[in-house]
Amino acid sequence: MSEPALQVSGTDFLERTGPLPPPASVGMTLDQVDTPALLLDLDAFEDNLGRMERSLEGTGMRLRPHAKSHKCPAIARIQMARGAVGVCCQKVSEAEAMVAGGVPDVLVSNQVVGAGKLARLAQLARRARIGVCVDDPANVEDLALAAQAAGATLDVLVEVDVGASRCGVAPGEAALGLIRLIAQSPGLRFAGLQAYQGSAQHLRTPHERREAIAQAVAKVRLTVDLMQRAGMPAPRVTGAGTGTYRLEAVSRAYQELQPGSYIFMDADYGRNLGEDGQPVREFRNSLFVLSTVMSRPTAARAVLDAGLKAHSIDSGMPVVADLPGAVYTSASDEHGVLSLPAGTDLELGRKVRLIPGHCDPTVNMHDWIIGYRDGRVEAIWPVSARGAFY
Amino acid sequence: MSEPALQVSGTDFLERTGPLPPPASVGMTLDQVDTPALLLDLDAFEDNLGRMERSLEGTGMRLRPHAKSHKCPAIARIQMARGAVGVCCQKVSEAEAMVAGGVPDVLVSNQVVGAGKLARLAQLARRARIGVCVDDPANVEDLALAAQAAGATLDVLVEVDVGASRCGVAPGEAALGLIRLIAQSPGLRFAGLQAYQGSAQHLRTPHERREAIAQAVAKVRLTVDLMQRAGMPAPRVTGAGTGTYRLEAVSRAYQELQPGSYIFMDADYGRNLGEDGQPVREFRNSLFVLSTVMSRPTAARAVLDAGLKAHSIDSGMPVVADLPGAVYTSASDEHGVLSLPAGTDLELGRKVRLIPGHCDPTVNMHDWIIGYRDGRVEAIWPVSARGAFY
């Protein structure tokens, strides 16, 4: 034991041991997997990949899945092998992990600000095709300086705010001004419009989603029409998520789609309704947090070992997959309280699968994805971009 | 680039690169720190340590801070150097990280279930003093088997449900039954009662907190009185958190306190009120997520680069520390939207400190704690138990 130090100073790297080993090994049954663990039902996952492929057949749409959902190069490579043109990322460090893991084409579907991050982005563009979004003229100038310093060329997309009220310039003239600035900036190549309507993805009724995407499409068209009147070639338009991608796909305004969650799904997407008023069941739940019953204090209550540090409750509590009538009622750091119907047989040590409320931030809490089929572990994939938020 | 594989199988460890390097180096100014970053104001942190020490002076209370808040052995060592008798952890892997980092006395203030985890816990008890909580007779038997197999002795505390309705046996006879079972189990040593009233910590008024802890104390007393009538020695009673520790400290029912958040504080604890109806300001906010303005789409809106993957919103949105009137209104994976009062001067690239809604799960998203003083980075500590939920 090192001497306790009252004086706080300096670095203290030696005790860092890196990520814990995976909670499973290949061939184990799910009962043998340590918990909490992030499980991937490989049959459901592959079904989801196939459903997306078939859904886009004949539309001419390019598929560029969002890697912020999985943060896992092994999954990105599978997506590319099945026709994806590349992936999206949200951060430079996430893109670095994807390029290191063999992905040759990454769009950072986000703004990148700050000299250090821009330098890393430009360096990455020497090893792979890299795109990035802008919504500010000063940022375009900084990007150009970074690209020139690295001797690299960056694809630059102008983000248009198509209704989400997050980032992006207003549709129309503001976008054109940025496009002209990109076109005259050495080291940069104008590569299209980023037009993601994030707030439409979880609107519950198909009517609301149609309305939101119709408005997004109108804003895209306004901008593209202005460009054409100004003699500019038609840009590639990219956007869409799992909740609305079919609408963008048939809009004739988009050429590339960015869904992420379709491979996993989650409890919140499970609340989107279809035309029949029933939950949309286009994609299957493939992602689960495996937990263990660690306390069984009363007949009506069980406590699981998976809480706020094993899944994200930003979009609501997880849904219990395997126990009819059981409800996950509250989460603390490392506990999840289940309310049980009378007569539930659930002894200490039993494994329970949870469907996370929100897949993306849940995946980011785990170092490993445990792929299983027919009740046995088949693949163990590192979540290489876990914590890659720089 | 490795060949994309349609066939998902086997392990794929090679691309794992471990945690990213820290976002800062010692001596940097805060403006130079990459973001998002978890900042610790060392003056405020040390003030908080001192305030807790002074607050417990003369009470005879043992302080066993909860390490689930910081997951950082460097901080645990500082706490012990200032009088803590050891730390609490919630998981075996968290305890392993603390022992590896030089902490000789760890109470796992939680149930541990499953042969693999129990074997690790018992192994750890060969290297350090290790306690664990129980609320089930079968679990006591499993613990005894694990301790005997490892040739170790485990301290075992009976968890009593004192009002949180999470884990724990009912006060009274049920607790006595478990204590007798522990006493006759080789490898186990009865070490007291765990009596943590978690749901009292964030009750907003002092009246509510007093009532909740009065009830907890009554449940402790009921159990202790029964033990004394049965001829058992008075047990050590341990519990309490940052929101109520002063109440347990003067109750004469507790001998050991387990606060965790007092070193950091967070936005949610900031909403607890004191006798004067004003927020309690006993401890200072020392923990911040440093973020960067990555988009400034309108005069009333800025977008930060810290979202759901940089801080936890389970207890509400973060509070903006440095911009009067600015409100963090919504979080997506890697974005935080700020609503700004008219005339706010906040250009692209500006750094903004956020007070996390809930400190514990926020710390768990970060690999590094960046300690600073007088605007300069002074310490970089690995969050060694980040992700240690096994």
CATH code, domain carrying A348: 2.40.37.20
Helix or strand (DSSP H, E) at A222: helix A206-229
What integer pLDDT is reported at residue A18 of this predicted model?
A: 76
For residues A172 and A293, state if they share a domain.
Answer: no
A110–chain B Cβ distance below 8 A for any pair = yes
For residues A55 and A174, state if they share a domain.
Answer: yes
For residues B168 and B52, state if they share a domain.
Answer: yes
Instruction: Report whether pLDDT(A8) > 90.
Output: no
* Residues of B whose CB is below 8 A from A312: 308, 312
Q: Which of A125, A179, A116 is nearest to A153 (CA)?
A: A125
Instruction: Report whether pLDDT(B5) > 80.
Output: no
Q: Has residue A113 been placed in a domain?
A: yes
For residues B314 and B186, state if they share a domain.
Answer: no
Q: What's the CA gap between A389 and B292, in Å, rounded?
A: 12
**Dihedral pair phi/psi, residue A20, rounded to 5°:** -65, 155
A26–chain B Cβ distance below 8 A for any pair = yes
Average pLDDT, chain B: 95
User: DSSP character for A35?
Assistant: S
Calculate the CA A338 to chain-centre distance. Answer: 28
In this complex, which of B4, B73, B295 lies closest to A77 when CB atoms are compared?
B4
* Final residue in a domain of this structure, among A264, A299, A321: A264
Contact B113 A349 (CB under 8 A): yes
Instruction: Report whether pLDDT(B390) > 70.
Output: yes
Q: Dihedral of CA B139/A353/B12/A269: which sign?
A: negative
B93–chain A Cβ distance below 8 A for any pair = yes
Q: Has residue B22 been placed in a domain?
A: no
- What average pLDDT does range B10-22 have in this prediction? 67
Q: Has residue B275 been placed in a domain?
A: no
Contact B378 A349 (CB under 8 A): no
Mutation pick from A75, A108, A132, A305 vs chain B, by most beta carbons of B within 10 Å, is A305
Instruction: Please tell me the number of Cα atoms within 13 Å of B46 on its side-chain side.
Output: 12
In this complex, which of B2, B78, B198 lies closest to A102 when CB atoms are compared?
B2
Segments forming the whole domain that contains residue A202: 43-264
Q: What is the pLDDT of residues B82-118, one digit of tens each?
A: 999 999 999 999 999 999 999 999 999 999 999 999 9
Q: Which of residues 119-148 of A touch B (CB under 8 A)?
A: 135-136, 138-139
Q: Which of B381, B60, B311, B59 is nearest to A5 (CA)?
A: B381
What integer pLDDT is reported at residue A16 of this predicted model?
A: 63
For residues A213 and A228, state if they share a domain.
Answer: yes
In this complex, which of B297, B332, B378 lies closest to A161 when CB atoms are compared?
B297
Q: What's the CA gap between A116 and A146, in Å, rounded?
A: 9
Between the alpha carbon of residue A76 and those of residues A82, A260, A284, A316, B11, the distances in Å are 10, 11, 19, 27, 15
Q: Has residue A390 been placed in a domain?
A: no
What is the pTM (predicted TM-score) of this model?
A: 0.96
What integer pLDDT is reported at residue B16 of this predicted model?
A: 63
Please give the residue of chain B at the shortest CA–CA distance from A117: B34
Length of chain B: 390
B236–chain A Cβ distance below 8 A for any pair = no
Q: Has residue A10 been placed in a domain?
A: no
Q: What is the pLDDT of residues B218-230, one digit of tens each?
A: 999 999 999 999 9
Contact B387 A308 (CB under 8 A): no
**Which CATH number characterizes residue B157's domain?**
3.20.20.10
* Final residue in a domain of this structure, among B215, B233, B265: B265
Closest approach of A223 to chain B, Cα-based (Å) = 17
* Final residue in a domain of this structure, among B240, B265, B290: B265
Q: Given the cut 0.85, state whether the ipTM is greater than it.
A: yes
For residues A260 and A288, state if they share a domain.
Answer: no
What integer pLDDT is reported at residue A19 of this predicted model?
A: 84
For residues A132 and A80, state if they share a domain.
Answer: yes
Q: What is the pLDDT of residues B306-342, one digit of tens each?
A: 999 999 999 999 999 989 999 999 999 999 999 999 9
A7–chain B Cβ distance below 8 A for any pair = no
State the pLDDT confidence band at A158, using cuts at 50, 70 and 90.
Answer: very high
For residues B251 and B372, state if they share a domain.
Answer: no
Q: What is the pLDDT of residues B51-66, one digit of tens each?
A: 999 999 999 999 999 9
Q: Where are the alpha helices (DSSP H) in A277-358?
A: none
Label residues A55-71 b or e (16+ Cβ within 10 Å = b): bbeebebbbbbbbbbbb
- What average pLDDT does range A192-196 have in this prediction? 98
Contact B6 A297 (CB under 8 A): no
Q: What is the pLDDT of residues A293-345, one digit of tens each?
A: 999 999 999 999 999 999 999 999 999 998 999 999 999 999 999 999 999 99
Instruction: Report whether pLDDT(B6) > 50.
Output: no
Q: Dihedral of CA B227/B229/B232/B238: which sign?
A: positive
- What average pLDDT does range B341-357 have in this prediction? 97
For residues B308 and B182, state if they share a domain.
Answer: no
Concatenate the DSSP letters of all residues of A113-146 into one string.
Answer: -SHHHHHHHHHHTTTSEEEEEE--HHHHHHHHHH
Contact B308 A8 (CB under 8 A): no
B316–chain A Cβ distance below 8 A for any pair = no
Q: What's the CA gap between A199 and B64, in Å, rounded?
A: 45
Q: Has residue A81 been placed in a domain?
A: yes
State the pLDDT confidence band at A7, using cuts at 50, 70 and 90.
Answer: very low
In this complex, which of B91, B102, B306 lies closest to A2 when CB atoms are compared?
B102
For residues B185 and B212, state if they share a domain.
Answer: yes
B199–chain A Cβ distance below 8 A for any pair = no
Q: What's the CA gap between B46 and B168, in Å, rounded?
A: 34
For residues B126 and B217, state if they share a domain.
Answer: yes
Q: Which of residues 35-54 of B touch A (CB under 8 A)?
A: 35-36, 42, 45-46
Q: Which of residues 244-283 of B touch A (CB under 8 A)?
A: none
Between the alpha carbon of residue A161 and those of residues B53, B120, B134, the distances in Å are 52, 52, 54
Contact B91 A334 (CB under 8 A): yes
B354–chain A Cβ distance below 8 A for any pair = no
- What average pLDDT does range B363-387 have in this prediction? 97
* Residues of B whose CB is below 8 A from A22: 11
Mutation pick from B53, B85, B113 vs chain A, by most beta carbons of A within 10 Å, is B113
Contact A390 B20 (CB under 8 A): yes
Q: Has residue B332 been placed in a domain?
A: yes
Mutation pick from B348, B373, B383 vs chain A, by most beta carbons of A within 10 Å, is B348
Contact A165 B301 (CB under 8 A): yes
What integer pLDDT is reported at residue B256 of this predicted model?
A: 98
Closest approach of B199 to chain A, Cα-based (Å) = 10
Count of A-B CB contacts under 8 Å = 280
Q: Has residue A34 been placed in a domain?
A: yes
State the pLDDT confidence band at A2, using cuts at 50, 70 and 90.
Answer: very low
Between the alpha carbon of residue A21 and those of residues A152, A297, B301, B365, the distances in Å are 38, 31, 42, 18
Contact B367 A360 (CB under 8 A): no
In this complex, which of B16, B165, B294 lies closest to A111 when CB atoms are compared?
B294
Please tell me the total count of domains within chain B.
Answer: 2
B111–chain A Cβ distance below 8 A for any pair = yes
CA angle A168, A169, A175 (to 5 degrees): 125
In 3-state terms, what secondary structure has residue B47?
Answer: helix
For residues B323 and B259, state if they share a domain.
Answer: no
Q: What is the pLDDT of residues A162-188, one digit of tens each?
A: 999 999 999 999 999 999 999 999 999
Q: What's the CA gap between B317 and B329, in Å, rounded?
A: 7
